[in-house]
Amino acid sequence: MDKIEIISMTYEHIDDVVIIENESFSVPWSHRGFEDSLNSKYAKFFVAKFDEKIVGYIGLYLAGDAGDITNVAVSSQYRRKGIAGRLIEKVIMYAKENNISVVNLEVRPSNTSAISLYTKYDFKEIGRRRNFYTKPTEDALLMQREIIEQ
């Protein structure tokens, strides 16, 4: 998949991103949710483009020198082709360029594919939040990637 391009997300990408969001999550973000994020100076979103089609996206929220990955998803027909990996690499590069020292995220313990993805990119489990998710109710694993070595 070397025709994959990772670019900054803009308003024109929201409709395509919402379609992927809806097929990927039981409590999806709305169009408005993505719009608000693109308006925020504390958020940075990227999309993956393949043959002019938007096939995945990732969102990062910033708080001080920490980043929080809010969502990452790839359109179901395009999974297992390295696209999420490319999106994670882009966020890690963005974090390095912006002096962010850690990137955090939450993931359902049942989401073994996402946990494998994050583990591959050196995220470590650092905690657990009880009943964090709904539909279905489930804890969240908290994972963290150090960006600037101590």
Least Cβ distance, residue 62 to ligand COA (angstroms): 18
Beta strands in the chain (DSSP E): 5-8, 43-50, 53-63, 66-74, 102-107, 124-133, 138-146
Residue 18 is a binding residue for ligand COA (CB under 6 A): no
Residue whose token pair is 């990119």: 121
Choice between 60 and 72, CB closer to ligand COA = 72
Euclidean distance between the first and final Cα of the chain, in Å? 35
Among 43, 74, 95, 103, binds ligand COA (CB under 6 A): 74
Among 8, 26, 30, 113, binds ligand COA (CB under 6 A): 113
Residue 116 is a binding residue for ligand COA (CB under 6 A): yes
Q: Which 3 state secondary structure label does DSSP give 27?
A: coil
Choice between 128 and 148, CB closer to ligand COA = 128
Query: Which residues touch 121 (CB under 8 Å, ≥6 apart)?
Result: 85, 88, 89, 92, 145
List of residues contacting ligand COA (CB under 6 A): 24, 72-74, 79-85, 107, 111, 113-114, 116-117, 120
